[in-house]
Structure 1
């Protein structure tokens, strides 16, 4: 509760939290909030490319589908991708970081050198390469993003484990005979949790943006999925006349990524005692 109060005192972080919570609510109730939920897959060519109006607040796309409904339905896809990718990356990166940070020797060095190789290659380029090796689709994009984001968790957890390894409470636990798994899972990992949470929150925003880029480039979600990046790609040939076609999916990407980034920055400030004292 103390951390939440600190977070809400920061108007920028509070804005990020509000955007993220709003997106989660929309994702949970998307089929009931969308004015025309059937427009996720059905075409209505007689009403194609209609500008925003009372009937269609965001206008219609090139197949006559309500853009507002597809933006709302696309929120669920974006949130699911972000959460799934970050959780999968954590399942890979956190154990690697814990082991490499705790142990000495060639195994630890090898793990971190592999991590450095992944970090040296831009995530988007690596995700595109992996996506081209597999069949295009949303699952392919999620796998590619998870396989390219785990090194960020590994590096974060490695640094935290190295810092905590020499702490007095760790020496005391080792002195009373606590096993290494017990020390790592019950004491080191909880102390590293704030850094992991900050990395996960910022990573969700970056994952949404990268997934939208993959969809735009044809490696991510495939038609007729209500994907934001795919919608922007489909709108290119109808610009500038149908300006509303890419505008609203693009704004959805902007707001959700901004929300996660602002929330992540706020959590980082709360988790850092030096910044907290400076408030």
Structure 2
């Protein structure tokens, strides 16, 4: 609760929280909020590329589909991808970081060197390479992003475990005979949780942006999926006349990524006051 109060006292972090909560509500109630949910996947060539109006507030795309409905439905897809990718990355990276941070020796060093190799290659390039090996689609994008994001969690948890393993409470637990799994899971991991939460929040924003870019490049979501990156890609050949076609999906990407980044900064400041932004 104290961390939440710190976030709410920070206007920038509060804005990020509101953006994320708004997007989450839109994703949950997307089928009921979309004006034309049943027609968002069908072609309506007689109404293609209509500008924003009372009937179509965001206009229509090259196949006559309501852009507002597709943006709303795309919110659920974007958040699903972000949560899935970050969740799988945590399942891989957190145990690797815990084990490598607690142990010494060649096995621990080898794991962290593998992690460094993944971190040295730009995530987008690695995701594109993995995506090319599999059939294009949303699942492909999720697998590629999961396999390229886990090293960030491994490195974060490794650093926290290294810091905590020399703490007095860890020595006391070892002195009373507590097992290593108990120390790691019941004491070290909860103390590392704030850093993991910050990494997860920022990672969701980065994952949404990267997934949209994969869709834009044809490796991610495939038609007729209401993917924001795919919509921007399809709109290129209709610019500048149909300006509304890429604008609203692009703004959706901008605001959701911005929300996660601002919230992540706020969580970081709340978790570690030493990193708090200076105020004038």
* TM-score higher than 0.5: yes
CA shift at 1:273, angstroms? Answer: 3.2
**Structure 1 vs Structure 2 CA RMSD:** 1.1
1:69 corresponds in structure 2 to 69
CA distance in 2, matches of 1:53, 1:277: 43
CA distance in 2, matches of 1:273, 1:122: 30
What runs of 5+ residues in structure 1 fail to find an aligned partner?
none
CA shift at 1:2, angstroms? Answer: 1.0
What runs of 5+ residues in structure 2 fail to find an aligned partner?
none
Q: Contact between 1:40 and 1:225, CA under 8 Å: does it hold in 2? A: no
Structure 2 counterparts to residues 200-239 of structure 1, below 5 A: 200-239=200-239
1:3 corresponds in structure 2 to 3
* Secondary structure in structure 2 of the residue aligned to 1:201: helix
- Per-residue CA deviations over 1:138-191 (Å, capped at 9, x if unaligned) read 000000000000000000000000000000000000000000000000000000
Q: Contact between 1:119 and 1:151, CA under 8 Å: does it hold in 2? A: yes
CA shift at 1:39, angstroms? Answer: 2.6
Q: Contact between 1:15 and 1:259, CA under 8 Å: does it hold in 2? A: yes
CA distance in 1, matches of 2:3, 2:207: 25
> CA 1:8/1:217 → structure 2, altered by over 3 Å: closer, same or farther?
same
Q: Contact between 1:215 and 1:229, CA under 8 Å: does it hold in 2? A: yes
Q: Are 2:43 and 1:47 aligned?
A: no
Q: Contact between 2:269 and 2:277, CA under 8 Å: does it hold in 1? A: no
Number of aligned residue pairs: give it: 279
Q: Contact between 2:269 and 2:276, CA under 8 Å: does it hold in 1? A: yes
CA distance in 1, matches of 2:141, 2:236: 22
Displacement over 2 Å in runs of 4+? 273-279
Structure 2 counterparts to residues 98-247 of structure 1, below 5 A: 98-247=98-247
2:91 corresponds in structure 1 to 91
2:256 corresponds in structure 1 to 256
